[in-house]
Amino acid sequence: MKWTTAITDVRAGKELVRGYDLKDLVCKKSFVEAIYLVLKGELPDERTTTMLNAMFVSCIDHGVGVSSAMTSRLVVSTGNSLHTALASGILSFGTLHGSAIEDAAHFFSLHAETEDISALVRDLKSQGVRIPGYGHKILQNDPRTDALFDVARKTDFYGKFCELAIVVRESVNEISSKQLPLNVDGALAAIMLDMGFDPRLAKGFFIIGRVPGLVAHIYEEMTTGTGLRRLTEDEVEYTGVEERPIES
């Protein structure tokens, strides 16, 4: 049984990516344009390239304190290779880090035609369901969201899903004990849907944007001479039982 693909054809000394000669893409197109090409099967226009570039830049890094950066640096500090450390960082993306964009994309898609968003939000809150794409551990307002929506308006990608994201934010904050921002994951999810992307690609967007940041963290860890990362005894609080004898 043959494998089939419509992405790349490597035969007769030539490599075609979605029908375009890779050599021509190298000389004439940007990395962002090539990413869009492999994902969507066609080259983007200028406004699409501008929007996509802003999206990837917005999630390139968020400091050493997030789990993916910490994991990558910890793993490379033990003597592992760069790609092993990078893989560990990507694998640390879970429900609480790096996945909200996908969950938000599915949420917005599911409720795109919901008429009473306030009622929906109240109902979800009563069930203890947390709406993805809202809130942040540190930020009370996510400046990345503001910047992305500015670009979305300028490129005409601020559509019904971006509007839905704002309405949901307003409804969430009507009943929340503290103000919750529409975070970068929620903004990215809304914009990619307005651009016509499948929600199943959402986490891929975050990974594409974050990998350069993780590589930078790994390289910094490799070159600063910190050595093996581990906690000292003073940094660990023991909460178990005190020493006890074994009865004979």
Same domain, 9 and 131: no
Residue 248 lies inside a defined structural domain of this protein: no
Same domain, 29 and 70: no
Cα of first residue to Cα of last residue in the chain, in angstroms, is: 65
Q: What is the pLDDT along the chain (248 residues), one digit of tens a residue?
A: 899 999 999 987 899 999 999 999 999 999 999 999 999 999 999 999 999 999 999 999 999 999 999 999 999 999 999 999 999 999 999 888 888 899 999 999 999 998 899 999 999 888 988 889 888 766 677 899 999 999 999 999 999 999 999 999 999 888 877 888 899 999 999 999 999 999 999 999 999 999 999 999 999 999 997 899 999 999 999 999 999 999 87
Residue 56 lies inside a defined structural domain of this protein: no
Same domain, 66 and 19: no
Same domain, 72 and 135: yes
Total structural domains in the chain? 2
For the entire predicted model, the pTM comes to 0.90
Residue 140 lies inside a defined structural domain of this protein: yes
Residue 240 lies inside a defined structural domain of this protein: no
Same domain, 114 and 193: yes
If you compute the radius of gyration of the chain from its CA atoms, what whole number of angstroms results? Answer: 22
* Residue 146, domain extent: 62-223
Question: Tell me: the pLDDT tens digits for 115-129?
Answer: 899 999 999 888 988
Same domain, 11 and 118: no
Same domain, 152 and 38: no
CATH code of residue 82: 1.10.230.10
Same domain, 29 and 107: no
Residue 152 lies inside a defined structural domain of this protein: yes
Q: What whole-number distance in Å separates Cα of residue 51 and Cα of residue 96? A: 26
Same domain, 153 and 201: yes
Residue 242 lies inside a defined structural domain of this protein: no
Same domain, 116 and 35: no
